[in-house]
Chains A and B, each alone.
Chain A
Amino acid sequence: MARYGMLINTKKCVGCYTCVAACQRQNNLLPSEQFIRFEERETGTYPTLSVETIPLQCMHCEDAPCAAVCPTGAAHIGTDGIVQVDQGRCIGCKYCMAACPYQVRVVNEETGTVDKCRFCTVSANDGTAMCSCVEACPTGARIFGDLDDPDSEISKAIAELNAQPIAGDLTKSKVFYVR
Chain B
Amino acid sequence: METKSSDSKPPTSSDHHQPSRITRRRIQTPASAAAAAAFPEELIEEILSRLPVNSLLKFRSVSKSWRALISDKKFISAHLKNSSKNTNFTLRRIISTIILPYYTLKHCSLHSLLSGPLTNAVDSDYPMKNPQNSVRIVGCCNGLKLPDVDDFIEQGLFITKYGFGFDESNDDYKVVGILSGFCNRDRYETMVKVYSLRTNSWKRIDVFNDGLPFDDTAKFVSGKLHWGKRNGSNSKWDIVSFDLASGVCGNVARPSYVETDFSPSLGVLGGCLCVLSNSRKSSVDVWVMKEYGVSESWTKIVTVPYLDVPWEGPYSTPLCVGSNGEILLMYGSNLMIYSPRDNRFRRPKIRNFGAFLEADVYCESLVPLV
B is bound to A: no
Which residues of B approach A to under 8 Å, CB–CB?
Answer: none
